[in-house]
Amino acid sequence: MDTADRPTALADTRADLLLFPYDFRLGVRSAAERLHTEIEDRLAAMCGTEREKAGRVVVIGHSMGGLVARYWLGPLGGADRCAALITLGAPHRGAPKALDWLVNGMLGGGVPFGRASAVLREWQSVYDLLPRYRMIAQPGGTPLYPYELGPAVTARAPGFSARAKAAFTLHEEIREFWSRPEPGIALPKVTAVFARGHGTLHRAAVVGDRLEVGDKDPDWLPNSGWGGDGTVPAISAIPVEADSDRNAWRAVPVKHLALASAPEALENLAMITSPSLSAVLGDTPQSPWLGVDLDDVLITGTTPSLRVRLLGAERDPATRIHAE
């Protein structure tokens, strides 16, 4: 394992396990370029020929890290180096929470965080996380992409339309590669670990010069009622090319941050690196779970509102839910 992320440590370019931190603020493309350099340096130290470098890498990416990995694999040409990609709650199709923060600003317990909102509007990463599907209802018209919003709605985010369009183009670059890979390049196996059932911002609506964003699933999109992990809708956490590949889906009951340590990642890694193991198929957790809706930010001294739903089982008079 490489410990180069510690200030006093030197990088071991022959380490076979790499923790890859990156500057979230700079966005997907910047982080992917760094990842490309890092992997190429390490493969050069470990492998003598180009043939030996093929299929040597397995990537586990949480949240935006999944997008970083897919950009490296696609537009930056890393696919022939990679055997498999495991994403954990990755917003392959974007996260409506990013749209809400950019247009309406951050709220905590109903209190606006003006300075934090202004800072977020300067970060390319938040634009890169905008939904790349039509999730904004408008009166009497076709649902909109975020970059199609008018200036009156996005007045608090200067330059929103251009930056949102650039972010959409980035997602299209990823999709283009995965739908039509270069000749002779074998696509790595992709496993998408995601969560369902938790209240997750998913649908927006233009109301006058305002944008209302809520957790009701868009009724014009498939799989209504799935919800998500509290940050990323479940349908967004499944990459486009895996739409019909149920074997690539792994549903878990935890929320977004907890997905980073989900045991399913290591289980899938074992399946990939140990041919004798057989895959566990299906997209439903093995036992019932709780869908939890709770604000990300709570104000000290206030009473939080918590909503809990039993999922994966029918509730009857004998059912008991215990909080620990």
What CATH number is attached to the domain comprising 254?
A: 3.40.50
| The dihedral sign for the CA sequence 283, 251, 23, 126 | positive
Name the nearest CA neighbour of 194 among 226, 139, 157, 237.
Answer: 237
Q: Is the pLDDT of residue 189 over 60?
A: yes
| Segment (H or E) for 314 | none
Cα gap 73→241, rounded to integer Å = 14
pLDDT tier at 7, thresholds 50, 70, 90: very low
In a domain, 264, yes or no: yes
Q: What is the pTM of this model?
A: 0.83
Tally of domains in the chain: 1
Edge-to-edge strand list for the sheet holding 82-88: 57-62, 82-88, 189-195, 249-252
Q: Is residue 111 part of a domain?
A: no
Most confident range, picked from 32-41, 49-58, 267-276: 32-41
Q: Mutual orientation of helices 64-73 and 28-46 as an angle, nearest 10°?
A: 60
- Tell me whether residue 138 is in a domain: no
Asked if the structure places residue 103 within a domain, the reply is no
**Residue 62 pLDDT > 80:** yes
Give the span between the Cα atoms of 297 and 106, in whole angstroms: 9
Written as one string, the DSSP assignment of 132-180 is SS--EE-TTSPPBPGGG--TTTTTTSTTHHHHHHHHHHHHHHHHHHHHS
221, part of any domain: yes
- Report which DSSP code applies to 283: S
Q: Is the model's pLDDT at 13 over the cut of 70?
A: no
Whether residue 164 is contained in a domain is answered as: no
Query: Would 5 be classed as within a structural domain?
Result: no
Count of Cβ atoms closer than 10 Å to residue 58 Cβ: 16
Three-state DSSP at 240 gives helix
Q: Which of 150, 130, 127 is nearest to 138 (CA)?
A: 150
Q: Give the range of the structural domain holding residue 45, as residue numbers without chain letter.
A: 24-93+179-310
Residue 81: inside a domain, yes or no?
yes
